[in-house]
Chains A and B, each alone.
Chain A
Amino acid sequence: MSKLKEKYLAIPEQIRIVTVLFAIFLIMFIFGRRLFIPKTFGEYGHYRAAAVDDIMQIGLVYAGHQACAECHDDVVAEKSQHMHKHVACENCHGPGYAHTQAPDEHPLTIPTDRSYCVLCHSYNPARPTGFPQIDPVTHNPDGACIDCHQPHAPQPPEVPEECGSCHERIVRTLGAGHHNSLPCTQCHDIKQEHKITPRDFLPTVPRTREFCGTCHSTKASSAKEIRRVDIVTHGENYFCGQCHFPHNPEVKI
C-alpha cells in the first residue's frame, strides 16, 4: 500500500494534476456525448433515425381520391365519365380525412360560390390553349355557376358557339391582325363534338403552302384586295406559317 503511494508521489505534481484533469474531462465528454447526442443518431447516417418515424406518424388531412368511392360511389362514377374526372373531390370539398372517419361529425364544405370555379376557369393568357376559360365578369354574371353547370359532370348547357371559351387568346390574337375577317372554320375543319370532348375530336390544322395559296396565290380567284404572292417562288421550301404567324400574319422585312 505504502509502496503504491510512494510510486504515486514519485510522479511529478504537474503530471498528476493533468492526469486528473484529463480523467475528469474524459468522463465529462463521455457523459456529455451521451446526454446531448440523441438515442438513434447515426443509425443510418448523420441524423436521428427516429426522426423518420416521427415524420411518418404525422396525421393525414387529405384522404386521397380513392377514399370517397367507398360511400359516394354514385358521385365518383358520374364524375369519372366527365371533364372533371381528374379534379379530386377534396379539391372542391376541402380536406376530407376526418370526414371519412366520422362523416356526420365532420361534414365537408360545398363550394357554391362563383368565386370558387373561377379559380380554375377565369381567363388568363398564361393558361394553356384548350383549357375551358370564361371571363367571370361577362359570363352570365347573375347566376351561380352550378345553376347551369353540374359540378360533377360539367358540360355547357348548350354547345358553345364561340371557340373563345377555350381558345380565348387565339381569338384575341386573330381579332387584332389582318386575318380578323376570317372565321376559325375557314382554316380548321371542326366537328361539333370537339367543343364537348375536345381531345377526342381534334380539328384539322392546315400545314400546306397550297392552302394559303387558295387566297394568296397570284392565280387564286379570291377577293381582289387580298395581297398576292407567287406561291411557287415566294419563301420556297418553308410552310407560309413559319414566316407569317397564321393567327396574326405580319409582314416584317
Chain B
Amino acid sequence: MDNNNTQDRRSFIKTCLKVLPAATLIPFLSIDAKAFAEEGYNPEDHNYAMGIDVHKCIGCGRCVRACKNENNVPDEPFYFRTWIERYIIPFEGETIVDSPDGGINGFGDAAVPEDAMMRTFFVPKICNHCAKPPCVQVCPVGATFTSRDGVVLVDNDYCIGCRYCIQACPYGARYLNPYTRTVDKCTFCYHRITKGLLPACVEACPTQARVFGEITDKSTPISYFRRFNEIQVLKPALNTEPKVFYAHLDGEVR
C-alpha cells in the first residue's frame, strides 16, 4: 500500500515534468491555430503593390466612386481614400492642378482654354503604402502600423484622433472621419485582397490604368508593369519608398 503510494507520487512528478515542456508550447500552438482560422491566409507570403499608368487614365472618377462605396467613406467632398487630379501645363504661366470633388463626377471645363494648354493629363492619387511610412512613426499610441504583408493600416478601435499622422503624410492620403472621429485611409481594400479579390478601385478602372498584385511573385501584372515601364514614385526625395508605382509620370506632378 505504502509502496503503491510512493509509486503514485513518483509517477505524478514524472508526468508533471513531461507535461511542463508541452505546456510551454501551448501559446505557440494557439498562434498556429489562429493563422489557420484565417483560412490559410499567411501574411508573410505576400507583399502588395499598385501600378498606375498615367497615360491610360481617362479621369472618369469610377475608382473614387467605387472606393467610397466599398469602404464607407463619407460622401461629402474632401474625404477621400483615392482621388484624381487634373494637371494642365499651359504654354505660359503656372501649372494648374484641380480635383473637383476628387473627380468623383468627372471633370468639366478647365480654367484655361484648350489652345492655351501645352500638356494636360489626369493623375490618380492614393496612399502610397510606403515601406518607410512617416505616418506610422509619429503615431503616439501604435494605432497605425505596417501589417506583415506590407499594407499600412489604421486600427479604428485604438486611434485617438490626434491627427499627427495626417500632418506627417507627405501625400495627403489621410483624413479624419467626421463620424467615427478616427483617422481613415486607403487599406488597399485589405478585406478584399486577403480574400483574393482586387481592390475596388482597380476593379472599377475601365482602362486598366491601375494594376495591383504582388511584387514578390514573378508573373503578376504588377511585375510586368514594373519591368516594362519606366517607373517613378511620388516625392522620391523624401525616401519614403512608396509601393505605388507610376508609369509615364510627368515631372510637374507633385
A residues neighboring B (CB under 8 Å): 38, 41, 43-48, 51-62, 64-65, 84, 86-88, 90-91, 94-95, 118-120, 122, 124-128, 131, 169, 172, 176
Chain A contacts for B43, CB-based, 8 A:
52
In the assembled complex, the Cα of A221 lies from the Cα of B191 at a distance in Å of: 69
- Total interface residues on B, CB under 8 Å, equals 55
Contact yes or no, B114 A61, CB < 8 A: no
B177 at the interface (CB under 8 A from A): no
Chain A contacts for B207, CB-based, 8 A:
86, 131
Q: Which of B200-238 contact A (CB under 8 A)?
A: 200, 203-208
Q: Which of B68-115 contact A (CB under 8 A)?
A: 69-70, 86-88, 105-107, 110, 114-115
A184 to chain B, nearest CB (A): 19
Contact yes or no, B69 A54, CB < 8 A: no
Stretch among B4-12, B153-161, B164-172 lining the A interface: B153-161
Contact yes or no, A126 B107, CB < 8 A: yes
In the assembled complex, the Cα of A84 lies from the Cα of B206 at a distance in Å of: 8
In the assembled complex, the Cα of A140 lies from the Cα of B208 at a distance in Å of: 29
Contact yes or no, B142 A48, CB < 8 A: yes
With beta carbons under 8 angstroms apart, the residue of A48, A90, A94, A172 that contacts B158 is: A48
Contact yes or no, B115 A90, CB < 8 A: no
In the assembled complex, the Cα of A68 lies from the Cα of B206 at a distance in Å of: 17
Contact yes or no, A91 B107, CB < 8 A: no
Contact yes or no, A119 B61, CB < 8 A: yes
Chain B contacts for A38, CB-based, 8 A:
157-158
In the assembled complex, the Cα of A56 lies from the Cα of B148 at a distance in Å of: 13
B residues neighboring A (CB under 8 Å): 31, 38, 41, 43, 55-62, 66, 69-70, 86-88, 105-107, 110, 114-115, 117, 120-122, 142-148, 153, 155-158, 187, 190-192, 194-195, 197-198, 200, 203-208
Contact yes or no, A62 B70, CB < 8 A: yes
Contact yes or no, A58 B38, CB < 8 A: no
8 closest A-B pairs (Cβ-Cβ)? Answer: A47-B145, A51-B155, A58-B191, A126-B120, A87-B206, A120-B60, A46-B142, A61-B70
Q: Determine chain A's interface SS by DSSP, over half rule.
A: loop
Contact yes or no, A131 B58, CB < 8 A: yes
In the assembled complex, the Cα of A56 lies from the Cα of B158 at a distance in Å of: 16
Which residue from chain A places its CB closest to the CB of B155 in the assembled complex?
A51
With beta carbons under 8 angstroms apart, the residue of B86, B110, B147, B203 that contacts A64 is: B203
In the assembled complex, the Cα of A125 lies from the Cα of B144 at a distance in Å of: 40
Contact yes or no, B191 A55, CB < 8 A: yes
Chain B contacts for A124, CB-based, 8 A:
58-59, 106-107
A46, A54, A57, A86: residue with the most chain B Cβ atoms closer than 10 Å = A46
Contact yes or no, B115 A176, CB < 8 A: yes
Chain A contacts for B61, CB-based, 8 A:
119
Contact yes or no, B158 A91, CB < 8 A: no
In the assembled complex, the Cα of A40 lies from the Cα of B203 at a distance in Å of: 33
Contact yes or no, A62 B200, CB < 8 A: yes
B58, B148, B192, B198: residue with the most chain A Cβ atoms closer than 10 Å = B58
A99 to chain B, nearest CB (A): 13
